[in-house]
Amino acid sequence: MLNETHDPSLTSWVASANTDNTDFPIQNLPFAIFRRAGSDEAFRGGVAIGDEVLDLAAAKSSGVFSGIALQAIEACDAPELNALMGMGKSVWSALRLALSQALRAGSDAQAKLAECLISQDDVEYRLPCRIGDYTDFYTSIFHATAVGSLFRPDNPLLPNYKWIPIGYHGRSSSIDVSGQTFKRPKGQLKAPDAAEPVVGPCKRLDYEMEVGIYIGSGNKLGETIALDNAEDHVFGLCLFNDWSARDIQAWEYQPLGPFLAKNFASTVSPWVVTTEALAPYRTSWTRDENDPQPLDYLESQKNRETGSFDIQLEVQLETPKMRAAGEPASHLSLSNFRHSYWTVAQMVAHHTVNGCNLQPGDMFGSGTQSGPEHDEAGSLLELTRGGKESLTLDNGETRTFLEDGDTIIMRGWCQKDGAKRIGFGEVASTVIAAD
């Protein structure tokens, strides 16, 4: 699955793409929708290279690209990437190769494409695609066990967890891009000792560190997607913060699951890292021999050998006091997507086993990604053990759940010997007071 675009020795004529700590070396080349900040320009597709954005609307007229790659770039001259996503894996790969060759050090395309670069400091983003449907999974067994233990100490995992990639259909209209500011949600709240619920702002606002998965080419209604073909239908991954009102959730979630506790805001990072870019960071997927093994449609040698992704996931909290003092955000946790109990391919295969039709731009949430250790927890609900233990931040402030003005910052990256480090950028969003 590796090809010349993954060569760790490749460098770019864009100097900032060659620094050791960049998220966006030439081996990455993620996609976003952008325009110059504060302008009335049309939003259009771009590719990150170092600290620059290659404007694909401008690049299509440069004369550098031809054939399938040019057709793909023309599809990016739009306010959403759905058309590109629907073109399929072979087209995405052809475009990636053409971009890699054009942006490499020594490329004849430098003079023409240098005029198509815009500093990332000078742009603003919107959602990378029109998200038609959104499904949130629950793939971290460590998160599921920790949360289940808070409510069912003797039986934290429900009987189906180890058999089914559990998920629910969420709401896509309230998903927004990094920088999102949203009001603290209101809803019904019921204290354990109260006779009746009341309506008011939630008091136990939480984040969830997730990976977002964008569907590329879909399937027809009634058709299934086989496990070993599943990732041919996945365009790429992003960072995803699935905000959660835990007190609203505790009252409403039985018997049908999340509703108002989840649909008020969710935030994605602007850059979509393609699955092809992540090829060097694939890793094996295993299932404890004492656990039930997957049913046939969720099992294959390929999935066992390369089904997981080694993506480090960090969460930070910036309080209003930190912001006013110019202090850095406080580190909360560091986990890894490789701990997921189910793989991306298994999510796709299970989602379509009943004939459900996926479409370009559909999004999956991975569910909160927590690791086996307590400091790898992907939510405050876990880190504070249900609000019973407060966290002390770097500046001495404490938190059990989020307060008005708090900003959650999530970052993700892949790094190992023998491969070029690639990153996802960040997703940041802020809660403000309810009306």
Long-range CB contacts (within 8 A, 24+) of 112-115: 112/62, 112/63, 112/64, 113/54, 113/59, 113/62, 113/64, 114/13, 115/58, 115/62
Q: Are residues 168 and 258 in the same domain?
A: yes
Check whether residue 140 and residue 112 sit in a common domain: no
Burial grade of 423 (CB within 10 A; 0-12, 13-18, 19 or more): buried
Q: What is the pLDDT of residue 153?
A: 86
Domain co-membership, 116 together with 100: yes
| Residues 286 and 428 both lie in one domain | yes
Lowest model confidence (mean pLDDT) among 17-21, 137-141, 142-146, 150-154? 150-154
pLDDT in tens, 224-283: 999 999 999 999 999 999 999 999 999 998 888 899 999 999 999 999 999 999 999 999
Q: What is the CATH number of the domain that holds 341?
A: 3.90.850.10
pLDDT band at 154 (very low <50, low <70, confident <90, very high): confident
Which one from 143, 339, 350, 351 is the annotated catalytic residue? 143
One domain, residues 52 and 143: no
Whole-number Å distance between alpha carbons of 245 and 258: 10
Q: What is the CATH number of the domain that holds 109?
A: 2.30.30.230
Q: What is the mean pLDDT of residues 211-216?
A: 98
> What is the tally of structural domains in the chain?
2
Residues 419 and 372 in one domain: yes
Contacts of 255 (CB under 8 A, 6+ apart): none
Do 425 and 269 form a contact (C-beta atoms < 8 A)? yes
143 belongs to the catalytic site: yes
Read off the pTM.
Answer: 0.97
- Asked if 211 and 346 sit in the same domain, the reply is yes
Length of the chain in terms of residues written: 435
Of 76, 102, 126, the position where a domain reaches its end is: 126
pLDDT value for 112: 98
pLDDT digits (tens, 9 = 90+) for 366-380: 999 999 999 999 999
Phi and psi, residue 383, nearest 5°? -60, -35
The 8 Å CB, 24+ separation contacts for 282-291 are 282/1, 282/306, 282/307, 282/308, 282/309, 282/310, 283/308, 283/309, 283/310, 283/338, 284/308, 285/343, 291/162
Q: Which domain holds residue 190?
A: 134-432
Pairwise CA distance, residues 45 & 58, whole Å: 10
Which pLDDT score is estimated for 1?
85
